[in-house]
A and B are shown apart, each in its own frame.
Chain A
Amino acid sequence: MNPERVPGTLHDFMRQALQMELDAAARYAEFADAMETHNNREVAALFRKMAEIESKHAEQILSEMGWSEMPGPITARPAWEGFEAPETVPIDEVHYLMQPYHALTLALESEERAERFFAQIAEAATTEAVRKAARGLQEEEREHVELIRDWLSKTPKPDRNWADDPDPPRYTD
């Protein structure tokens, strides 16, 4: 998080939080499609579930703020650093043979990043409204982290040779 870009108003802050949830949902949906196309049904279903969950969080934010849809773009740069929002799983972290454990690990990491982000916002916030909202979201993310940790503990670890595909790549064009 870049402290110089910490949002000054509740509106700006919640808009960024909403963007985070929407970006995360869109990314998970994309992953779900890619996994389905590559016959990795189990992980596809898992990503589909994560996309649903993130969409629900987005809806929660909309309803809390009384927004019927995404408010117009803010002119200030988002407070997060790096290419993408903290809750978005980077596009190159997936593998066509990945297992549910991997997918959950990615989800866990993104929730942890989100939690850290909100904590940092809360620290650096210049207004009480933002600080309060950030703490609230941080708390929620902490719950998500716990949920995923629990889910992960019930998920079998991948075999050592999970990435082994004896067949060579095929070409089609």
Chain B
Amino acid sequence: MNTTSRGVRRSISIAMAGSGGSGVMTAGTLLLDAAAKAGLYGLMVRTSGPQIRGGEAAALLRLAEAPVDSLDDGFDLLLAIDWQNIHRFADEIPIRAGAIVVGDADEGEAPEVFLRNGTRAEAVPLKKMAKAIPGSWTNMVALGVAGAIAGIPLEALEAALRRSWKRGEAALAANVDALRAGFEKGATIGALPALEAPPTDRSRWLISGNEAAGFGALRGGIRFVAAYPITPATEMLEWMAPALTKVGGTLLQAEDELASINMIVGASYGGVPSLTATAGPGLSLMTEAIGLAVTAEVPIVVVDVMRGGPSTGIPAKSEQSDLSYAVNGLHGDAPRVVLAPTSISDCLATTQWAVHLAEKLQTAAIVLSDQFMGQSRAIIDEPANTGVVAERLVAEAHEADYKRYRNTESGVSPMAIPGTPGVVYTADGLEHTEAGIPSSQSADHQLQLDKRERKLMTHDYGSAWADVEGEGELAVITFGSVTGVVREALARAAERGVKARLIALRLLAPALPERLERALDGVDRVLVVEQNHSAQLLRYLRSVYDLPGRPESFHRPGPLPLRPGELADAIVEWRNR
């Protein structure tokens, strides 16, 4: 199989497909759970047709001996409960040479596209086996088959099933039987190379990127969220709704994104760290009020779970095409913080950091997550708590000659929180004097623009600004979920004798020229990798940084993910040019 960048460890990839109530998402989720119980790592991506229920669907899993942050080049096992409309996912389920393709003989033959590459086609009477066990479901038989072939111990599969079961004892017993029957059958078909759970006593989590971001927000100190549903961010908000109540916060459903962004500006003005989450179309609507937060110096965090764009685009698929908008999209000169988590796990720490930065620098922080991270679930090592929290510089009561927007060396001015006597002020999106009085004077405008820029530029962002790994004269620069793919590609390229540095930017704005210069010390060629059509990261980097030589680009828009193999080939080819 394949190595991950963490050494000679391996992974297997399994796809489970089916339609019309066949329950493949549930089966996939249980398979991931079972892998977790068996001490393995992995992740699961879901894909489906446009129907709300009953549509064709597929669960795409990668299981490994070490944490994985992306899908692999192809699948080693495809198990289909039926083949209905599966051509919709053919692009997303590339089948490896020599893979096993399992179907139900009563559902017809596997489509040809999955049988190329010398795959082994097998048939299991999944439906009949389920029927023979009254009260049981076909997807449980399928889970057993897949689990056996994947080398997941039966106990782990059963434990996952029992833990999730909510429908009564009798039905549970039937489905355990179905699981066992499937497992027995699967064992006769064959096995993928066995994965070995690494010896570890580390505590691990099973979590999605959206949940991780929500939790990171709470850790950072967010206690007010305004929410408007939008694919693929809704689950983050739905996770936060009860969680916030538990920790004494509030979530308010807004009438639209114009309301939600203005609500969080209002709440934050009142002193409460506030956040909202949205996707491209919502971010577009929020722009004016993000500018307001920047100008009035009110801390806010906006999580943008990027999806296929532009406009309504491809709502349920991932893409990294909001970068330009996030770093440039405000009218006027309005610097703000833009961060991008590099993995599902990193959604937690990066969102937490965003809260800290927004609050400390009294500005807007945009977190660029994406649909892949947001809606996929992964087994991760329990992330350490970085301990960064909201630390707002607050004005003392009756501070002499208080000026809300007083110029300071750092650019950050103490913020008066309503309720504090003697430091009353009016926040304003109009340009203003240090006292906050609206002004059209050039001296005031210059001072405030300098101040708002300086506070971001002079802050010490520490080592989290980017992950800089490896050495050599070649550097690959990327951001967001593509980081995982690049890391893996670089490990493979290294095996082929090509060494390159990885620079995965976590802080996209403000640009830190000195830092990047140091990270690129000794580098004479740069390749920028990203998932969008117009090479947004490359263009942005060229606009704010000096890059050595002529930087090159590997970019492709969504909906298909970038894959480590193609990237490794591209890196080797690039080096050899």
Q: Decide if A and B are genuine partners.
A: yes
> What is the interface of chain A, defined by CB distance below 8 A to chain B?
37-41, 96-97, 159-161, 164-173
- Interface residues in B40-81 by Cβ distance below 8 A to A read 46, 48, 50-57
The reply to whether A166 and B57 form a contact with Cβ atoms under 8 Å apart is no
Which of A39, A97, A164, A169: most chain B Cβ within 10 A? A39
The reply to whether A170 and B137 form a contact with Cβ atoms under 8 Å apart is no
Which residue from A37, A166, A167, A172 sits with its C-beta under 8 Å from B316? Answer: A172
For the complex, is B418 an interface residue (Cβ under 8 Å from A)? no
| Contact flags B301-321 to A (C-beta < 8 A → 1, else 0) | 000000000001001100000
For the complex, is B412 an interface residue (Cβ under 8 Å from A)? no
For the complex, is B234 an interface residue (Cβ under 8 Å from A)? yes
Which residue from B21, B50, B84 sits with its C-beta under 8 Å from A96? Answer: B21
Contacts of A166 in B (CB 8 A): 23, 25-26, 137, 139
Minimum CB–CB distance for B573 against chain A, Å = 37
Minimum CB–CB distance for A158 against chain B, Å = 12
Which of B26, B46, B54, B312: most chain A Cβ within 10 A? B54
A–B pairs, 9, beta carbons within 8 Å: A39-B84, A161-B137, A166-B23, A166-B137, A167-B21, A170-B52, A170-B57, A172-B48, A172-B231
The reply to whether B231 and A171 form a contact with Cβ atoms under 8 Å apart is yes
Minimum CB–CB distance for B106 against chain A, Å = 12
Minimum CB–CB distance for A39 against chain B, Å = 4
The reply to whether B316 and A171 form a contact with Cβ atoms under 8 Å apart is yes
Minimum CB–CB distance for A168 against chain B, Å = 7
For the complex, is B135 an interface residue (Cβ under 8 Å from A)? yes
Extra pairs beyond A97-B54, A168-B25 (19, CB < 8 Å): A38-B53, A39-B54, A39-B84, A40-B54, A96-B20, A96-B51, A96-B54, A161-B137, A164-B21, A164-B137, A165-B21, A166-B25, A167-B23, A167-B57, A170-B52, A171-B52, A171-B231, A172-B48, A173-B231
For the complex, is B85 an interface residue (Cβ under 8 Å from A)? yes
For the complex, is B24 an interface residue (Cβ under 8 Å from A)? yes
Bound Cα distance A153, B26 (Å): 34
For the complex, is B478 an interface residue (Cβ under 8 Å from A)? no
* Closest residue of B by beta carbon distance from A161: B135
Minimum CB–CB distance for A32 against chain B, Å = 15
Contacts of B85 in A (CB 8 A): 39
Which of A37, A168, A172, A173: most chain B Cβ within 10 A? A172
Which residue from B20, B25, B26 sits with its C-beta under 8 Å from A38? Answer: B20
* Closest residue of B by beta carbon distance from A41: B84
Which of B51, B56, B312: most chain A Cβ within 10 A? B51
For the complex, is B351 an interface residue (Cβ under 8 Å from A)? no
Bound Cα distance A40, B137 (Å): 17
A-B contact count (CB 8 A): 74
The reply to whether B20 and A160 form a contact with Cβ atoms under 8 Å apart is no
Are A97 and B20 also in contact (CB < 8 A) when A170-B52, A173-B315 are? yes
Minimum CB–CB distance for B23 against chain A, Å = 4
Minimum CB–CB distance for A155 against chain B, Å = 16
Bound Cα distance A169, B51 (Å): 9
Which of A164, A170, A173: most chain B Cβ within 10 A? A170
Bound Cα distance A114, B568 (Å): 69
Question: 9 tightest A-B contacts by CB?
Answer: A96-B54, A39-B19, A39-B20, A166-B26, A166-B23, A38-B54, A165-B21, A167-B25, A39-B84
The reply to whether B135 and A167 form a contact with Cβ atoms under 8 Å apart is no
* Closest residue of A by beta carbon distance from B51: A38
For chain B, which range describes its interface: under 10, 10 to 19, 20 to 34, or 35 or more residues? 20 to 34
- Interface residues in B18-41 by Cβ distance below 8 A to A read 19-21, 23-26
Bound Cα distance A164, B168 (Å): 14
| Contact flags B129-156 to A (C-beta < 8 A → 1, else 0) | 0000011010100000000000000000
Which of A164, A166, A167: most chain B Cβ within 10 A? A167
Minimum CB–CB distance for B236 against chain A, Å = 14
Contacts of B23 in A (CB 8 A): 165-167
Bound Cα distance A159, B21 (Å): 14
Contacts of B50 in A (CB 8 A): 172
- Interface residues in B89-146 by Cβ distance below 8 A to A read 134-135, 137, 139
Contacts of A96 in B (CB 8 A): 20-21, 51, 53-54
* Closest residue of A by beta carbon distance from B232: A171
Minimum CB–CB distance for B170 against chain A, Å = 11
Bound Cα distance A37, B56 (Å): 9
Contacts of B316 in A (CB 8 A): 170-172
Contacts of A159 in B (CB 8 A): 134-135
Minimum CB–CB distance for B311 against chain A, Å = 12
Contacts of A172 in B (CB 8 A): 48, 50, 52, 231, 315-316
- Interface residues in B234-275 by Cβ distance below 8 A to A read 234
Contacts of A168 in B (CB 8 A): 25
* Closest residue of A by beta carbon distance from B82: A39
Bound Cα distance A39, B51 (Å): 10
Minimum CB–CB distance for A88 against chain B, Å = 23
Contacts of B139 in A (CB 8 A): 166
Contacts of A167 in B (CB 8 A): 21, 23-26, 53, 57
Which of B20, B21, B26, B231: most chain A Cβ within 10 A? B21
Are A37 and B21 also in contact (CB < 8 A) when A171-B231, A171-B316 are? no
Minimum CB–CB distance for B238 against chain A, Å = 12
Bound Cα distance A64, B564 (Å): 70
Bound Cα distance A172, B19 (Å): 16
Bound Cα distance A167, B25 (Å): 6
The reply to whether B53 and A165 form a contact with Cβ atoms under 8 Å apart is yes
Contacts of B48 in A (CB 8 A): 170, 172
Contacts of A173 in B (CB 8 A): 231, 312, 315
- Interface residues in B430-472 by Cβ distance below 8 A to A read none
Minimum CB–CB distance for B451 against chain A, Å = 42
Which of B20, B57, B134, B137: most chain A Cβ within 10 A? B20
Minimum CB–CB distance for B286 against chain A, Å = 19
* Closest residue of B by beta carbon distance from A165: B21
* Closest residue of A by beta carbon distance from B30: A166
The reply to whether A169 and B53 form a contact with Cβ atoms under 8 Å apart is yes
Minimum CB–CB distance for A36 against chain B, Å = 10
Bound Cα distance A160, B51 (Å): 24
Which residue from B25, B46, B55, B171 sits with its C-beta under 8 Å from A39? Answer: B55
Are A38 and B135 also in contact (CB < 8 A) when A172-B50, A173-B315 are? no
